[in-house]
Amino acid sequence: MHLQNVSWMRSVNNSTNTGTTGRSLRIEAVKIRLLDKILTAHARHCIMSING
């Protein structure tokens, strides 16, 4: 996750939290890494559907 005025935060897995507390910073970007090939293909399909 890339935060306003902070840069990229450390990568986390599953339900682990990352970010800041009490600073009211915007999330500017999110990087998602999918490990399952079927889920990866489905995610590409969803992104293409959203983008038209």
pLDDT in tens, 3-52: 788 888 877 777 777 777 888 888 888 887 766 666 777 777 676 676 65
Cβ–Cβ < 8 Å for 44, 34: no
Cβ–Cβ < 8 Å for 28, 2: yes
Cβ–Cβ < 8 Å for 9, 2: yes
End-to-end CA distance of the chain: 25
Q: Which residues contact 33 (CB under 8 A, 6 or more apart)?
A: 11
pLDDT, position 9: 82
